[in-house]
Structure 1
Amino acid sequence: MSHEYTYMNLDPKTIIVINTLGSLFMSIGCFVASYGQLGRLIYVRMWAYGTLVQCLGWIVQGVLRGIIPDIISISFGNALILASIVFYYNILRLFFHQEAYIRTSILFILSEVIVLVLFVSSHYDQKFRVSILSMYASIPLLLSVWEVIKNAKDENFSLYFFAFFCAVAGLFLSFRVYYYFVEDVDPRAITFGPSKIQDFTYLIFYITSIMLTFSFALVCIDRFVKEQVKSEEKYRLLAENSSDLIWLYDLNQDSFRYISPSVQQMYGLSVKKAMRKKLKDMLELKESESFFKLLEERLILFKSNPDSKRYYQDEIQIMHANSEKKWIELISSFQGSTESGIQILGVAREIEKRKQTELENQKYLEDLKTINSTKDRFLSIIAHDLKAPIGGIHTYINMVLEDIHEQSLEKTKEELSLLKDTSSELLSLLNNLLTWARSQKGDIPFDPEHISLFSAANRCIQLLTSSAENKDIEITNQIPIKTVIYADEQMLDTILRNLINNAIKYSHPGNKVIISSEDLDDSLVIHVEDFGMGMNHGTISRLFQLENKQASAPGTRGERGTGLGLVLCKEFILRHQGSISVQSEREIGSRFSVTFPKGN
């Protein structure tokens, strides 16, 4: 019993319109997808262009059939459809990182155009034209299947799904080649007439045109996901093997989302323990307060413009699990949004050694500035302060030599006395200058011992007796005879000599200078007191500073000074871990107090 085939009565024009609209919407869909995350794969947008070309082919070949000349409709419409299929094949080659056959593809499409133009212009049976069209279209489809078989060893199942529809379309077109060449085909079945082959053609074209795009989209999604997984794995390995600490903190949840294993080295914490901590717990307390103030300001800025990428660099201190403070460099940025949640991505690097080097360099720079200032002051003393007394000596010598035969002996003795005073000033200055220079080079040994303070004061008084007598100044040593001090003898002599000399210089003729001591529980205080010019607070604040030349004012008889003696005193006192202080009032006098810690 035979069954007569019932045609599906598919209207060819309707099928053409459906294919046209289907191609158009699929092209639009691919374009839209290419602007999203899939846009990282260029193949999606390329496929959109190919589908758009196919849409144009259906319009020219079907929608405009009968409106435009057949030679254009048939030749160029089918050529555009073939171009889209060839384009798909080349996209597939690029997908497998192979070179596209651009020149070959163009020649292949042009050859079809030429063949179709010849067939349309001639009186050949139309079934041969259909066979030729089917043959041309089947070649890139079957080659696509071969490319998948050859290259899809590591790829996902979606590629074989794509290859299946390429094979269905390619094999069906190959069957059409055979069918139209061998079978005696009803002329109505060649173009748009009702027939079995045409019904199957419409269905196959419609299904494959949709499924090829759909399956290729799956292929691209699989590739994208696979690359994402590889990328995440790569960055995970980088993070877990990096000496830098990488972390992600969720501000909404107020908790860490991720911390790299290097937290063990930087904080002495396991990842599990660190994940349970808050961000503020990972910073030293003082640093935490200032850092979170900055964080609030930066967060406001980020919320006002979430699309802007800003990276912040901070140097902050952290607390190790063993209570040791460490310096780290933190680079951070905000990501996310108010709706989805804002996170902080941070990369921290330990910079303890670098920070120590910076602090050392800063200290070296400060020392260098001090040395440079000292050098300038040293040159200033040599150029100016030594010049004055030497010039004075030279003047007095000339005066004596010029008048030695004419003036009286008393006058000559007076001038020689002035010469002696000036030379004493010069000698004192040179002694201080040389001692200070040696101290700067570290050439002065420090050998403290128990010595008699009374005897040390007497030695200095004897050395300065001449200067005191010239101004009729009485120096009184009120230090108890049995007082013992633990100090370096040479340095102690320098300290006492300079303080007593200063007291003489700034005392009015006929005044007194008193040297006394005060025995405390853990220290011994030496007082050198005069009743001369005194100083105001501004002058006191500039004492003991080499760069402040103004700190040394002329004495009551115009004696010059550099202030170097007091600077030297302070350096030597500090070597003993002692201190020096001053009490003074204008025209009442000054009292210098030097405190020495008691030795063993």
Structure 2
Amino acid sequence: GRNPDIEKLEDAFKYIHPEDLPKVNEAMAMVLKEQLPSLMLQYRVKHNDGHYIWIEILANVEYDKAGNPFRVIFKTRDITSRINLEEKIRQSEAQYRLLAENSTDGIALFENDELVYMSPSYTKILGDYLEINRIEEMFDYIHPDDLPKIKQQVKKIKAEKVERDISQYRIRKSDGSYAWFEDIIHSEFNERGNQIRVILNSRDITKRIEAQDELKEKEKQLEMLLTNMSDFLFLIDKDGIIKYTTPYTLNYFGYDETGISGKSFFEFIYPPDLERLIQDFSQAVNEKSIGRKAYRVVRKDSSFFWMEINGNSIENGHLEFVIVGRDITERIKIQEQLKKQHTELAELNATKDKFFSILAHDLRSPFNQIMGFSDLLSKNMHQYDTEKIAHFVGIIRNSSVKAYQLLENLLNWSMAKRGMMEFYPVTLNIIPLVKEETNRLSEQIKTKNIDLKLQESSNIFLSVDENMFRIIIRNILNNAIKFTPLNGKINIDLKEKDNEIIITIKDNGTGMEQSQIHSLFELSENRSSEGTQGEKGTGLGLLVVKEFIDKHKAKIEVNSEKDRGTEVQLIFQRDNTVILS
């Protein structure tokens, strides 16, 4: 930065950096001592602004005959930039070495297949036993099962000039076990295509491989579990689309995978249950939970079964549901059977109560009359005239008929309830049967002066059990007489309509409230009312009628209005009937 104030060689020394001055003095002394012709030195000298710069000098020394230097020629150049760059390079190399030596990954540098550098991490991972000078010596430590693959990869890298590649292999440790390595391989090639430099960045992935193997094993176990589980499993989205199901589910539903996956879960629901499922699923989407529900599900062959489902939602970027289901058809059947048995048990209890009620009260009344009036006749008959005796005998006869009818109904009802009454349908002309049963009740009809008309236009042949049919007609007609007033009317009509034979028995008697009609055939609700002349009853006759109507797979319909009479229709199917003109 200025012309230096130098007259003698010694004057130059005052500009040299104090740290470099001893080195320069020592070099100059050695040159003079050994009479060296030249000297090259690098040192720092002070600039005019006070900082130091690096210079490189080439000193050529000339000596006289006595060996004393008489001329020194200095060639000087500023090498500050080069020195700074070299310092930066040294610092960078130190930093990279520091990083390499403290990295958990192994770093190895090969130039022209010769090992230049290998970081300490290899020793930390594998143990202090690696003896590698050339790159191919790495093969001695690779697992035999992985070696062919690695050799093939190395060959491919060289042949195809691959600058970056990744490999995974097992490498032997000092204790004889193997670690899994993942290498990132960086290759440099010269202009002739020869591989001149290889940098290996090796990472121990043993734990990752073990975790992957463990995950694969768990996935295998899960697959076995899903394959062999006897419950149904569905993964569906918030729109009800099936994303996954198990082989067992597919087989049970009768489909292959394409028959269910991607379709709506709603498609497989039995139509009567669909609206309920849609409501439940909409609620599940809002609440992100599916409670325990049961629906009927349709198989591919159109059969259906009851499926109970339960599920939970999962958030995997979007809402999905895992639904577990099982066939509960047998459970439903058992529940229905239990309900039926409960109903039957209630009926049996009611039957028992009704039976004891009849024995305790209804049978006692006619037998009391029979015993009472027969006792009077036995003791006092010589005191009574013929008219009074005839009156008492009439009471005894009527009481006997009532008792017989009651016992007959009781017996028929009991046998029907226990399934002990044989059912033998044969094809009969039912017109004479109806007439005979009407004639059988002629005395009661005459007593009330009832106008009874039987309207029939043809002979009707119907397949019926004769005894049961007679009991049905007798009980319905007996009820009509009982509730028809003096001088009342009863019409009996038999006709064909479509595929049915309809027998109608209609009276103009006391009639019933709607609530009474609904309980006519219910044992627990059955209550008998008194007739228009105080006739007693048990209501048992109608229960017998219902049992026998059911045996014939027929129907009974009752229409009535209070104080306007009652109409009873017995409806038989024509399947087993023959109509003759």
Q: TM-score, normalised by structure 1?
A: 0.58
Which of 262, 265, 282 is 1:279 aligned to? Answer: 265
Contact 1:514 1:529 in 2 (8 A): yes
Identity of aligned residues (%): 25
Which of 370, 381, 399 is 1:422 aligned to? Answer: 399
d(CA) in 2 for partners of 1:560, 1:342: 71
Residue 555 of structure 2 aligns to which amino acid in structure 1? S
d(CA) in 1 for partners of 2:285, 2:327: 25
Contact 1:334 1:344 in 2 (8 A): yes
Which of 305, 323, 337 is 1:326 aligned to? Answer: 305
Q: How does 1:340-419 map to 2 (within 5 A)?
A: 340-401=317-378, 403-419=380-396
Q: Return closer, same or farther for 1:356/1:455 CA change in 2, 3 Å cut-off.
A: same
3-state secondary structure, aligned to 1:461: helix
Per the alignment, residue 300 of structure 1 pairs with: 286
Q: How does 1:52-67 map to 2 (within 5 A)?
A: none
Contact 1:471 1:510 in 2 (8 A): yes
Q: Does residue 247 of structure 1 match 2:226?
A: no
Measured after TM superposition, the shift of residue 222 of structure 1 is 4.6
d(CA) in 1 for partners of 2:413, 2:174: 89
Measured after TM superposition, the shift of residue 403 of structure 1 is 4.1
3-state secondary structure, aligned to 1:388: helix
Per the alignment, residue 336 of structure 1 pairs with: 315
Q: Does residue 511 of structure 1 match 2:511?
A: no
d(CA) in 1 for partners of 2:344, 2:287: 42
Q: Return closer, same or farther for 1:276/1:555 CA change in 2, 3 Å cut-off.
A: same
Which of 550, 555, 562 is 1:579 aligned to? Answer: 555
- Residues 224-247 of structure 1 show CA distances to partners (whole Å, capped at 9, x for unaligned) of 443222212211121123333323
Measured after TM superposition, the shift of residue 520 of structure 1 is 3.2
Measured after TM superposition, the shift of residue 437 of structure 1 is 1.3
Contact 2:366 2:400 in 1 (8 A): yes
d(CA) in 1 for partners of 2:458, 2:246: 73
3-state secondary structure, aligned to 1:549: coil
Measured after TM superposition, the shift of residue 569 of structure 1 is 1.6
Q: Does residue 453 of structure 1 match 2:430?
A: yes
Residue range with higher mean Cα deviation, 563-572 or 361-370: 361-370
Measured after TM superposition, the shift of residue 395 of structure 1 is 3.2
Residue 538 of structure 1 aligns to which amino acid in structure 2? S
Contact 2:238 2:285 in 1 (8 A): no
Measured after TM superposition, the shift of residue 408 of structure 1 is 3.0
- Residues 460-516 of structure 1 show CA distances to partners (whole Å, capped at 9, x for unaligned) of 233223333444445444445744443221112111211222222223334344433
Measured after TM superposition, the shift of residue 545 of structure 1 is 2.5
3-state secondary structure, aligned to 2:383: coil
Contact 2:347 2:523 in 1 (8 A): no
Contact 2:558 2:568 in 1 (8 A): yes
Measured after TM superposition, the shift of residue 269 of structure 1 is 1.8
Residue 597 of structure 1 aligns to which amino acid in structure 2? Q
Per the alignment, residue 437 of structure 1 pairs with: 414
Higher relative contact order (Cα pairs below 8 Å, separated by 6+ residues): 1
d(CA) in 2 for partners of 1:588, 1:311: 57
Q: Return closer, same or farther for 1:523/1:345 CA change in 2, 3 Å cut-off.
A: closer
3-state secondary structure, aligned to 1:262: helix
Per the alignment, residue 175 of structure 2 pairs with: 149
3-state secondary structure, aligned to 2:537: coil
Measured after TM superposition, the shift of residue 434 of structure 1 is 0.5
Contact 1:331 1:348 in 2 (8 A): yes
d(CA) in 2 for partners of 1:248, 1:536: 57
3-state secondary structure, aligned to 1:347: strand
Contact 1:508 1:556 in 2 (8 A): yes
Give the count of matched residue pairs.
393
Measured after TM superposition, the shift of residue 553 of structure 1 is 0.6
3-state secondary structure, aligned to 1:396: helix
Q: Does residue 232 of structure 1 match 2:211?
A: no
Q: Does residue 523 of structure 1 match 2:487?
A: no
Q: Return closer, same or farther for 1:284/1:387 CA change in 2, 3 Å cut-off.
A: same
Q: How does 1:180-219 map to 2 (within 5 A)?
A: none
d(CA) in 1 for partners of 2:452, 2:333: 52
Which of 237, 256, 261 is 1:270 aligned to? Answer: 256
Q: Return closer, same or farther for 1:461/1:283 CA change in 2, 3 Å cut-off.
A: closer
Residue 463 of structure 1 aligns to which amino acid in structure 2? R
3-state secondary structure, aligned to 1:562: coil
3-state secondary structure, aligned to 2:393: helix
Which of 542, 551, 562 is 1:566 aligned to? Answer: 542
Contact 2:297 2:307 in 1 (8 A): yes
Residue 251 of structure 1 aligns to which amino acid in structure 2? K
d(CA) in 2 for partners of 1:403, 1:294: 83
- Residues 228-274 of structure 1 show CA distances to partners (whole Å, capped at 9, x for unaligned) of 2221221112112333332323438x644432222331222212342
3-state secondary structure, aligned to 1:275: coil
Residue 445 of structure 1 aligns to which amino acid in structure 2? E
d(CA) in 2 for partners of 1:357, 1:516: 45
Contact 2:426 2:464 in 1 (8 A): yes
d(CA) in 2 for partners of 1:369, 1:147: 82
Residue 175 of structure 2 aligns to which amino acid in structure 1? I
d(CA) in 2 for partners of 1:346, 1:566: 52
Per the alignment, residue 554 of structure 1 pairs with: 530
Q: How does 1:67-106 map to 2 (within 5 A)?
A: none
Contact 2:520 2:526 in 1 (8 A): no
CA-based RMSD: 3.6
3-state secondary structure, aligned to 1:346: strand
d(CA) in 2 for partners of 1:515, 1:286: 43
d(CA) in 1 for partners of 2:521, 2:568: 12
d(CA) in 1 for partners of 2:398, 2:461: 33
The structure with the largest helix share of the pair is: 1
Measured after TM superposition, the shift of residue 430 of structure 1 is 0.7
d(CA) in 1 for partners of 2:363, 2:280: 57
Q: Return closer, same or farther for 1:285/1:532 CA change in 2, 3 Å cut-off.
A: closer
- Residues 526-573 of structure 1 show CA distances to partners (whole Å, capped at 9, x for unaligned) of 2333333333333333223222232x2111222111111122222222
Per the alignment, residue 519 of structure 2 pairs with: 542
d(CA) in 2 for partners of 1:522, 1:259: 50
3-state secondary structure, aligned to 1:344: strand
d(CA) in 2 for partners of 1:422, 1:493: 22
3-state secondary structure, aligned to 2:227: helix
d(CA) in 1 for partners of 2:573, 2:269: 41
Residue 325 of structure 1 aligns to which amino acid in structure 2? F
Contact 1:515 1:528 in 2 (8 A): yes
Q: 5+ residue gaps in structure 2?
A: 1-97, 105-171, 183-201
Contact 2:451 2:489 in 1 (8 A): yes
Contact 1:158 1:222 in 2 (8 A): no
Q: Return closer, same or farther for 1:532/1:347 CA change in 2, 3 Å cut-off.
A: closer
Q: Return closer, same or farther for 1:478/1:312 CA change in 2, 3 Å cut-off.
A: closer
Contact 1:318 1:328 in 2 (8 A): yes
- Residues 180-202 of structure 1 show CA distances to partners (whole Å, capped at 9, x for unaligned) of xxxxxxxxxxxxxxxxxxxxxxx
d(CA) in 2 for partners of 1:343, 1:481: 71
Residue 308 of structure 2 aligns to which amino acid in structure 1? E
Q: 5+ residue gaps in structure 1?
A: 1-17, 27-145, 160-210, 303-309
d(CA) in 2 for partners of 1:521, 1:261: 53
Measured after TM superposition, the shift of residue 333 of structure 1 is 1.0
